[in-house]
Amino acid sequence: MIPQLERLLDPEILTGLTTRPLDQLRRIRVECSDVESDISLVRRVSQGRLDIVGHETARRAGAEPADGDLTALLFDLPEILSDAPAGGGSTPGARAVRVGEPGEVAAEMVKSLDTMASPTVLSNIETLSDGDLRELFERIRAFEVELSSVRRQLHERIDAIQSEIGRRYRDGEASVDSILG
C-alpha cells in the first residue's frame, strides 16, 4: 500500500482528535481531502475502463452492432464515459466530485490500474477471449470496489475531523480571529 494512504487509513489517525492542535487537524483534513480527490480521479478512470469492457461484452452478446473493428466503440465512447446516467439528467443526491491536480497517490494507483487494464489492452479488447474479457471485468470491478471503500474511509476521517473543528468553534475553544490574525 502507498505509505501516505496507509498512514491516513490507520485508525490511530482519529485517536485524540479533541487534544490535537487545530492547525494539525486542518493539515490532516486537507491531506485526507487531497488523497480523496486522487482516489476519486482513479475511481472515475477505472469506471471508464469498466464501461469499455462492459460495452465489448454487450457487443459480443449481440446488443451492439458487430463492425469487426472498433468504429462503433469509438463512436459510442462519449456516451460510455459520460457522467450522465442513461436517459440524461443527474443522479439525485449525487455529490460533486472535486478533482484537482493529481498527486502521488493517483499516480501510484493509476500504475496499478494500468497493470490490470492498460490502454494497450483496452485498445485491443476485441482480441481478448470471452474468458479473458470476464477476468478483466472482474479485476477492474474489484479494484473499483476497493477504491470505493478507501474513499468512504477517507470521508469518515474528513467528517470526524471537520466535526471536531466545528465543535471547537461552537464551544468557543477556537475563534475565527485566530485564522485571520
**Looking at the domain assignment, is residue 155 inside a domain?**
yes
Query: To 10 degrees, the CA torsion angle through 10, 12, 17, 23?
Result: -60
Residue 58 lies in a domain: yes
* Structural domain contains residue 17: no
Contact 81/48 with Cβ under 8 angstroms? yes
Does residue 151 lie in a domain region? yes
Q: Given the C-alpha cell 476521517, which residue does it identify?
A: 157
User: How far apart, in whole angstroms, are the C-alpha atoms of residue 12 and residue 6?
Assistant: 11
Rounded Cα gap, residues 10 and 18, in angstroms: 17
CA distances from 174 to 25, 33, 128, 179 (A): 12, 22, 59, 9
Render pLDDT for 105-157 as a digit per residue (tens, 0 to 9).
999 999 999 999 999 999 999 999 999 999 999 999 999 999 999 999 999 99
Q: Is residue 91 part of a domain?
A: no
Cα 106 from Cα 94, distance rounded (Å) = 22
Which tens digit of pLDDT belongs to each residue from 65-97?
555 555 565 566 666 666 554 444 444 445 455
Q: Is residue 13 part of a domain?
A: no
Residue 137 is assigned to a structural domain of this protein: yes
SS3 91: coil
Q: Which domain holds residue 73?
A: 3-8+24-81+100-180
Name the 3-class secondary structure at 85. Answer: coil
Q: What is the pLDDT of residues 5-25, one digit of tens each?
A: 999 999 999 999 999 999 999
Q: In the structure, what pLDDT confidence band is assigned to residue 50 with cuts at 50, 70 and 90?
A: very high
Residue 14 located in a structural domain:
no
How many domains, the chain?
1
Coil, strand, or helix at residue 110? helix
Angstrom distance (rounded) from CA 89 to CA 92? 9
Confidence bin at 61 (pLDDT 50/70/90): confident
